[in-house]
Structure 1
Amino acid sequence: MAIRGPKPKDSSRLHQKSRSQPWTEVPNVRYAGKVPRLPIYRVFQDREGQHRVKLDPMTRSWWKVISRMPHCINWTPSEWQFAITTALVYDSAVRGNNAAAVELRNREKVLGTTLESRRDLRIRYVDPAPQLAAVPEPARGKRDELEELYGD
């Protein structure tokens, strides 16, 4: 008598091999490269029409923090553009737009602003290798010079 149900799969096909992405290790050093500037104004639309508002000072403070994260060193121009757009979303959220707050949360995950989001992106900050300083030679006095000339 035949067994009901689908034919059992080959045991070698039961488990997929781990396809996880390797960790990106970034030196835990503040990014000091070139950073795009934020626009001065943001434009938004409501029932009354189009409005132009100056960016909130909190948005500029947020940008100073975000644009100096160590893993910014790996960002491409498109990622910088995404970050600028996220700053505009941040500005809208700061001014009380609840829909912008939800969008901001999702965008900040993509940018890797928190430890948890960096873990999800598989970005790890590592302490930079310590710089070995050259050991200075001890100061030489007159006595050392005489010993060198005449021996012990």
Structure 2
Amino acid sequence: MPLSGRTPSANPRNRNPRAYDWTTVENAAYEGHSPELPAKGGRQRWHRETRAWWEAVRAMPHCRLWTDTDWRFALETAVLVEAFWRDQPSVAAELRLRSAKLGLTHEDRLKLRIRYADPQDGDQVAAQAPAAVTRLDERRRRLAGDDAP
């Protein structure tokens, strides 16, 4: 059973260093090498929803980070998607867990600490400086009408 909890905070309260940081990926469809769905035996074909799912998965921007084992995991997940669309709802729980590991939804990518950046922005998303903070004593002085430092 999966553990529940909050997603990682941008401002952690403890002083321990993070084990890993955000991975920024260019927000452009992946067009590199990806495996095809394997041929099925006989006259049976993949369900059209499974084929649509596979085309969406193999074009996700963060697929450029995947290794051969990640692609194998995705292919094995495609078999569960096929079973789900062929009226086997008992695979839904496993399918949900595997979808989270693949980072299929925005929430899943947040938990995996993957974010997309527009191509023109490059790595600037990761390098953004925090907004300037106004000191409270200066604000209190202005509100009190005392302009002298």
Question: Structure 2-normalised TM-score?
Answer: 0.67
C-alpha displacement at 1:129, in angstroms? Answer: 2.0
Structure 2: 5+ residue stretches without partners: 1-13, 123-149
Q: Hey, what does 1:28 align to over in structure 2?
A: 27
Say which structure is richer in strand.
Answer: 1
CA distance in 2, matches of 1:96, 1:113: 22
Q: Hey, what does 1:96 align to over in structure 2?
A: 87
Task: State the AA in 1 paired with 2:76.
Answer: T
**Structure 1 residue corresponding to 2:66, chosen from 51, 68, 75:** 75
Structure 1 position 87 matched with structure 2 position 86: no
Larger RCO (CA under 8 A, 6+ residues apart)? 2
For 1:1-150, what aligned pairs fall within 5 Å after superposition? 17-41=16-40, 53-129=44-120
C-alpha displacement at 1:56, in angstroms? Answer: 0.8
Counting aligned pairs with the same residue, the percent is 40
C-alpha displacement at 1:40, in angstroms? Answer: 2.2
Structure 1: 5+ residue stretches without partners: 1-14, 43-50, 132-152
Larger radius of gyration between Structure 1 and Structure 2: 1
The residue matched to 1:41 in structure 2 has which SS? Answer: coil
CA distance in 1, matches of 2:108, 2:54: 18
Deviation string, structure 1 residues 39-58 (Cα, Å, up to 9, x no partner): 1227xxxxxxxx99532111
CA distance in 1, matches of 2:54, 2:44: 17
Q: Hey, what does 1:12 align to over in structure 2?
A: none
Q: How many residues align?
A: 109
